[in-house]
């Protein structure tokens, strides 16, 4: 698998960038890795980087974006925070990735059995975690479900995780004029997906 170059990055559309991630996840699930020489990629990226996508995902140790999408060095920007939400710093990082570094796709990736989502469903309070979990409250408030509204209700937890991905995508468009302009022009795309920690599969349900 070749390292991304300025030329190969420029030739990609947002849809093709998503296809690369989808194909990579299929290889991951099948336990088939693309043939890469990572040390060679270290050498090839020493003068610069041309990632084709920026992936916002949770810090969960089971969800490393480069591995689950079978990507190498220099292929994607990986932004990780518990609960995969956006703030000013993350938006700035995404603006750099797309406007400056040329990435063609933003992915907001949630995952099943998310501890941050369970925490906000249970109204957990603990130091700085309290303020962080408040960022996920809009997703909780937007979800209606039968049964208990806590982490013991797996269906509820998953619906909150799904809604959080959707709202995060909306916030990216609303809070970053830079990214919204690029999205409106079709220069970049945005996709939302959910990683299944039991199967390793990513389901994209919001596509560019």
> CA dist 200 to 99, 111, 159, Å?
31, 10, 19
- Cα(167)–Cα(170) distance, integer angstroms: 5
Query: Rounded to an integer, what is the distance from CA 134 to the centroid of its chain?
Result: 20
Contact 56, 107 (CB under 8 A): yes
98 known ligand binder? no
121 known ligand binder? no
Contact 25, 195 (CB under 8 A): no
146 known ligand binder? no
Residues with Cβ < 8 Å from 200, sequence gap 6 or more? 25, 28, 29, 68
**What residues are paired with 56 via a beta bridge?**
79, 108
Give the 3-state secondary structure percentages of the chain, helix then strand then coil, rounded to 5: 45, 15, 40
206 known ligand binder? no
Q: How many residues does the chain have?
A: 208
Q: Which of 127, 122, 128 is nearest to 160 (CA)?
A: 122
Binding positions are 58, 60, 111, 114
Binding positions for Zn(2+) are 58, 60, 111, 114
């Amino acid at each position: 698998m070749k390292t991304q170059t300025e030329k190969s990055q420029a030739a990609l559309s947002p849809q093709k960038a998503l296809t690369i991630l989808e194909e990579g996840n299929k290889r991951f699930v099948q336990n088939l890795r693309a043939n890469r020489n990572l040390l060679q990629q270290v050498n090839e990226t020493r003068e610069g980087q041309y990632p084709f996508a920026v992936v916002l995902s949770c810090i969960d140790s089971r969800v490393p974006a480069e591995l689950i999408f079978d990507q190498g060095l220099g292929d994607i920007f990986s932004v990780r925070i518990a609960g995969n939400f956006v703030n000013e710093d993350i938006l700035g990082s995404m603006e750099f990735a797309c406007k400056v570094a040329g990435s063609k796709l933003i992915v907001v990736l949630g995952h099943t059995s998310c501890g941050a989502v369970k925490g906000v469903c249970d109204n957990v309070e603990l130091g700085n975690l309290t303020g962080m979990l408040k960022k996920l409250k809009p997703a909780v408030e937007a979800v209606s479900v039968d049964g208990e509204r806590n982490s013991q209700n797996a269906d509820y937890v998953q619906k909150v995780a799904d809604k959080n991905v959707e709202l995060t995508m909306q916030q990216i468009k609303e809070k970053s004029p830079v990214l919204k302009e690029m999205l409106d022009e079709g220069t970049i795309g945005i996709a939302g997906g959910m990683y299944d920690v039991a199967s390793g599969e990513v389901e994209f349900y919001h596509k560019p």
